[in-house]
Structure formats: C-alpha cells, structure tokens
Amino acid sequence: MIRRASGGLLMLPWFDAAALRMLTQWYFPLSRGWAAAMAAAGSPERFMEAIPCGPFARRLLPGILARVEERKAALVTADTAWEAAFFGNGPAHTSFEAARLRAAMALGNLRGALVPLHVRSPLPAVAWHIEAPEQVAQRHAGRLDRPDEAFADAFNLADIEVSRGFLSSLGVEGWLRFPAPTPVAPGPAWARVAAPLATDGAGPPRGPSLVFTHGIAMETEFTGATRHSLAGLLGAGIRVIRPEGPWHGRRRVPGTYGGEPIFAGGPGGLLDYFHAHVIELGRLVAWARATRGGPVCLGGVSLGALTAQLAAVVARHWPAEMRPDALFLVAPSHSLLAVTFEGSLTRELGVPRAIRAGGWSVAEINRWRPLLDPLAEPAVDPARIVVVVGRSDDVTLTAGGEALVEAWKLPAENVFRAPAGHFSTSLGLARDAAPFTRLLQILRPA
C-alpha cells in the first residue's frame, strides 16, 4: 500500500503517526507470531510454548502451521534451484530469481494468517532476552579497551563470491556472498548488486559505486519489492550495492523475525549488530573499489545510516581501500542513546523499559558509546557527505540528525531538511531528486 500511495499522501502529517501505529501495533506483533510459527515445525504445542494461546487460537493453529510448513518447503526448493543457477553450474535464468522472490514473499505474507489471533488476544511485539551488562562485557570489553582495533578485520577479497549476472529493468543485477566477520550473524553475508549496462560492449563500465544499507526490519526478500528509490542512480552511471544486514532476510536467526534480535537483545544486540555490519560495509567498499574503480560512497537509511556513519569513523583505522570516499545518510543521528530512550518507535515497543528491567542504567550504556556512536571525525571530507534530515523525525530524532551535521561541520549545500517525519523522509526520496543531484555532483564532478 505504501509503495503505491501517491507521493503527496506520504508527506501529509498523519502519515508518520499512522506508519508508527501500523508497525508497533500490527507489523511487529504479527511478525513475532510469524517467527514463532516458523520455529514450531508444524506443532501447535511448540508455538504455544513461545506464545501462550487460548482455545480460539488452538483451533486455528493447525491450519496456519500447515501452510507455514508448506511455504517453507517451497522456499527451500526455490532457493536451492536459485543457488545452483547463480552460484553453481547453472544455467542461470531470471525465472529462478523470480521464483525465489515469489516463494519468499508468499512465506512472509503468512503474517496475515495470524490477524485473527492478534485481534482476539494481542501478540507480543518482541521476545525479549536482554543480556546483563556483565554478559555483554565478556564479548565486547576487550574491544572497548582497544578502540583502534575494535573493528579490525583481516579479510581476503578473494573470499567474496560473485553470482552470475542477469538483465533486469535496473541494469545488470547479481549477488555477492562472503563469510560473516563475527559469529553472532548466522550464515554468509549477502549483498545485491545492480550495475548500469555497458554502452560500448567493452564490459562493465568503470565509475562510482554506492554501498547503501537498510533500516531495521526492512527485508526486500520477503516483501516482493523490486523497485527502490536508488534505481535512478543507475541511469547516471552509479553502481548500487545493497547489503543484507545481520539477522535480516536469509540471515534471519531461527525463531526470530528480521531485525528482532537488535531490539530483543538490548545494548548487547546493538553492539553485536554494529560489530558485524560495520566490518561488512568496509569489505564491500574495498570490493567495490577493486572491481570498478572510481569513488565509493557509503550510505544508509535509519539504522543503516547509523551503521554507515559509525563505519565512516571507524575507517580511520582501516586500510585505505576500505575507506569510503563519500557518505549519503538518510535520517541519521548523533546519539544512539537518545534514539533508544527518546525515539517514538523504541518507546512504543517498550525498549527503554525492557533495557532498564535487564539491569542497564544510562550510565552503563554511556560506557559503550565509543562502539555505537560517531564520537570522532569521519575519515571522509565533510564536503563529500550528504545528509537528509526529517524536520519532524521522532524516531531517529531531528535533533540527533542536526547534532551530527553540526559535529561534522557539514556545508549547507550538503544538508537537506525534508518537511516530513522519519518514514516519509526516506519514502520522499522517490519524489525529491535534490539530495541525489548533490550526491552525483560529488561522485561525478564536471
């Protein structure tokens, strides 16, 4: 519905409030039920161990869980055929990609089957497992004591596998996969690549690349989304690389929905996520530079912007090939602590309350800010950093975005203030080309 709504509606004041209610009161609770159904292996008893239910749910569960198992098997079949086609001996064909996306979307759409359960007895939005500060310190205290090595990475670019490519409306598309840098994220890391078509028959054109990462719970694999606001950059000669963050999509932890461990784990979940994904972004920057030449821009939206901005600071300690040449940040913030305790999304989900109940104080969380926030200057010239801030963003907070702009001393021509809230700011990129125009001026100077 959101993708098809007219651009004007997306910018109306009510839209962001409605989107927040839809996410917190419907999408996340239905996703929690969907995750429990995925893990139940067809057993109503296992589902009810995770989410206690009454007689009404008990009558519906056998049919719902049978459909889940059927569609899980269909996705495994489609994914196996897709992997053989694009990473195996082939032959590759776009039909395998289409079948995989249809199967993933059909499985994800079964959230709707849980609506009657949610209406009768509201499902929880998050399965909390907040780790105590002492447990988190066992994993991350050494990193905090050695800030120069906190995101260190020894990686061979030869370990990045490139799929066969296929033609689409976006250009030449394909996938990358490579070993995840930390044990907290299961399976390999993935990224989708879309490159402009060569115009002279001499192979892929050289030029700029954009590595752009998503927000929390954004999973194009399970929504059937084939269009995105970055598609227009391909026509300008920019290759677009979209990573799949830890705990999302095919990297989902069994028994959870996409991104849930970031909420559910509290500060430990955030530290784990940033540790893994920041390093992954550095690897993708290095791969983009090695395979296409030209400048490499790093960016993201919401949680993706928070990850990209941290990577830009960490890059001061990385080899030159891992450092981005430019940044494109949509709805960023200078303080993750403020986002966690003051942001509307986290408050509506009960994140602050759960964190405090797990034994965390503000002072204890502040201790970990060097591993979470962009406290130092980035390894990117401020003149090459483009930021989009929503004037009424109450999720990652307008004040947080403005604080980042001030701390990094960004030039006025690189800062775009959308007359919108958090969700409409990112969706509004499909209507407002000005931030992209400025980015192109930086990446492709006259």
Q: What is the CATH number of the domain that holds 396?
A: 3.40.50.1820
Residues 94 and 178 in one domain: no
* Residue 73 within any structural domain of the chain: yes
Residues 25 and 47 in one domain: yes
Domain that holds residue 240: 133-443
Where do the DSSP E strands lie in 106-165?
161-162
* Residue 19 within any structural domain of the chain: yes
Residues 56 and 156 in one domain: no
* Predicted local confidence at residue 436, as pLDDT: 95
* Residue 143 within any structural domain of the chain: yes
Residues 107 and 137 in one domain: no
Residues 213 and 266 in one domain: yes
Q: Which residues pair with 235 in a beta bridge?
A: none
Q: Which of 71, 97, 120 is the last residue of a domain?
A: 120
> What does the alpha-carbon distance between residue 287 and residue 191 come to, in Å, rounded to a whole number?
11
* Predicted local confidence at residue 206, as pLDDT: 79
Residues 238 and 326 in one domain: yes
Closest Cα partner for 324 from 291, 284, 292? Answer: 284
Q: Which of 62, 97, 120 is the last residue of a domain?
A: 120
Total domain count for the chain?
2
* Predicted local confidence at residue 117, as pLDDT: 96
Residues 115 and 40 in one domain: yes
> What does the alpha-carbon distance between residue 103 and residue 380 come to, in Å, rounded to a whole number?
41
pLDDT per residue rounded down to tens, the chain (446 residues): 444 444 455 555 678 999 999 999 999 999 999 999 999 999 999 999 999 988 999 999 999 999 999 999 999 999 999 999 999 987 788 899 999 999 999 999 999 999 999 999 999 999 999 999 999 999 999 999 998 999 999 889 999 999 998 887 778 889 999 999 998 877 899 999 999 876 655 555 679 999 999 999 998 767 765 566 788 898 889 999 999 999 999 999 999 999 999 999 999 999 999 999 999 999 999 999 999 988 999 999 999 999 999 999 999 999 999 999 999 999 999 999 999 999 999 999 999 999 999 999 999 999 999 999 999 999 999 999 999 999 999 999 999 999 999 999 999 999 999 999 999 998 888 788 899 999 999 998 76
* Predicted local confidence at residue 445, as pLDDT: 78
Q: Which of 120, 147, 162 is the last residue of a domain?
A: 120
* Residue 127 within any structural domain of the chain: no
Sorted by sequence, the CB contacts under 8 Å of residue 404 that are 6+ apart come out as 309, 329, 332, 333, 334, 374, 387
Residues 255 and 298 in one domain: yes
* Residue 343 within any structural domain of the chain: yes
Question: Residue 117 CA to chain centroid, in angstroms?
Answer: 29
Residue 253 is given by DSSP the state P
Residues 114 and 223 in one domain: no
Sorted by sequence, the CB contacts under 8 Å of residue 243 that are 6+ apart come out as 189, 190, 191, 211, 213, 214, 277, 280, 281, 284
- State pTM to two decimals: 0.94
* Residue 1 within any structural domain of the chain: no
* Predicted local confidence at residue 317, as pLDDT: 95
Positive or negative CA dihedral for 279, 283, 288, 294?
positive
* Residue 128 within any structural domain of the chain: no
> What does the alpha-carbon distance between residue 315 and residue 323 come to, in Å, rounded to a whole number?
5
Closest Cα partner for 374 from 346, 345, 409? Answer: 409
Residues 309 and 377 in one domain: yes
Residues 108 and 254 in one domain: no
Residues 436 and 307 in one domain: yes
* Residue 431 within any structural domain of the chain: yes
